[in-house]
Structures are given as C-alpha cells and as structure tokens.
Amino acid sequence: MREILVAGNWKMNGSNAANMELVAGIVAGVPEGEGFSLLVCPPYPYLSAVVAEAEGSAVKVGAQSVSEHESGAYTGEVAPAMLKDIGCEYVIVGHSERRALYGESSFQVAAKFQAAQVAGLTPILCVGETLEEREDGATERVVDFQLNAVFDAAGIGSFENAVIAYEPVWAIGTGMTATPEQAQEVHKHIRSQLAARDANIAEQVQILYGGSMKGENAAGLLAMPDIDGGLIGGASLKANDFLAIAAAAAQV
C-alpha cells in the first residue's frame, strides 16, 4: 500500500516571521492517523529554520529546485549535497515554472533528478501538459517525453527513490482543478509507463496530483486509485488550508 504524501510548494512567498508561523501552525495541527506524510518546501533562505522547527514532528522538509552540479563556479545555484547537509529530504525538480520561466529542458531536469539522488535526496519529478497540448490531444506524448528523459538518464531503478507529480500546467494557480477522472487517467498512464519497465517499481512509486488542489476537492482526488497525494501551491500558504488537505489524506 502506497502512503499518501501531501507536499506544499511555498514558491517565492513569505518572510522569516510568516514562514516560521506557517510551519509552526502545520506542525501543531498534523492530523491523527496513519498512512500519510506531510512535506513543506519553503524558499531557500528559510530552509534551515524550517528544518529546525519541524524536527521531531511528522513534517518533512524539501527544496523547490536544485543545481545539477556537485559544486564549483555556478553563481547563485545550490548544490544537492548542501540541501542534504541542512536536513532536507526532498527536492522538487522540473516544476512547470522552472521549465517555462527559466528554460529548464527535460534533459536538464533529468540531470537534476540524478544529482539529487546521488546526494541522498528524494526528487519529486514534475510532469504535465499545457492547455494547448491537452486540447491538441498531446497530453500523453508530452508526459512521456518528460518521463523518458529521466528513464534514459537515470534508469527505471532510480524510481525506487523518487516521487512523480502530475501537474497539468493549465490547473496550476488558476483555480481550474483537473477532475478526479481527468487526473486519474493521466496518473494511470504514468504508472503504465513505469510498469512497462518494472512492475514492482510501478506499484510502489507515489504519483502526486498538483493543480489548484484544496480542502474542498482533495478527498475526491485522493480517492482515485493512482493518486497518491498532492503537490500544493496556493493552498499550502495558510496552515489551515494545508491541514484541510492533510485531514482528507488522513481519511483515505
């Protein structure tokens, strides 16, 4: 049985005071129950303090991006080993904002995925199509291309320690959530791509849904057989909103 992972991507939001209050509120409100875990991904400057605040709680900490390089002359970048060093367990790679705004290719994303694993982090690999691609019937082709870059670079075995997030770009930050059926269809397809390479690994990989998930729609999405959690942007910025999704996860 796969655990549910409820992951918050705080993006470039908050301040020292606000983010400490946010993590403290989440730590204080973790719902009772088993079979789920919580993760928060604050901006880099707050990672260490959030790790310290979350220590000993059920809340894990991850970063929102990482360099594909180990160390050296890469001004402004953060190495995977640095994230591990300060207590991060996860890192998001290939978020659609990184792909669209910073030109990260699927090949660069695959390199980040690999580098994260080498440092002992669990990468959360984001894949997903734009509205135009969906309307062109290209959803599976786009997702396959993004996945194949990682299969080719890192191999199917690397998914023993990885999470996938299906995030339709048209649903991110727009309030337009994919229906549970729309999301399930793509999640099932993603799992079939994994299964074609290794059936056991396919069964164990957590595939999260991301795109305007909130307390009101979480239960319906999480009830789908191939949806193993959420990657949440907007609704991760208030402890009560995030905890409402956690509560839905605790009841699956």
**What residues act catalytically?**
95, 167
User: What residues from 9 to 68 belong to the interface with ligand PEP (CB under 6 A)?
Assistant: 9
Lay out the site mask for ligand PEP across 204-233 (x = CB under 6 A, - = otherwise).
Answer: ------xxxx-----------------xxx
Backbone angles phi, psi at 88, to 5 degrees: -75, 150
Tell the smallest beta-carbon distance from residue 116 to ligand PEP (Å): 17
What kind and span of H or E run contains 101? helix 96-101
Name the closest residue to ligand PEP (Cβ): 233
Residues 166 and 183: beta-carbon distance below 8 Å = yes
Residues 188 and 143: beta-carbon distance below 8 Å = no
Name 40's Cβ contacts closer than 8 Å, sequence gap at least 6.
7, 8, 10, 22, 23, 26, 50, 54, 59, 60, 61, 62, 236
Lay out the site mask for ligand PEP across 166-185 (x = CB under 6 A, - = otherwise).
Answer: -x----xx------------
Nearer to ligand PEP, 120 or 215 (CB): 215
Name 26's Cβ contacts closer than 8 Å, sequence gap at least 6.
8, 38, 40, 59, 239, 242, 243
Lay out the site mask for ligand PEP across 101-140 (x = CB under 6 A, - = otherwise).
Answer: ----------------------------------------
Backbone angles phi, psi at 20, to 5 degrees: -70, -40
Nearer to ligand PEP, 84 or 98 (CB): 98
How many residues sit close enough to ligand PEP to count as binding (CB under 6 A)?
A: 13
* Residues engaged in binding ligand PEP (CB under 6 A): 9, 167, 172-173, 210-213, 231-235
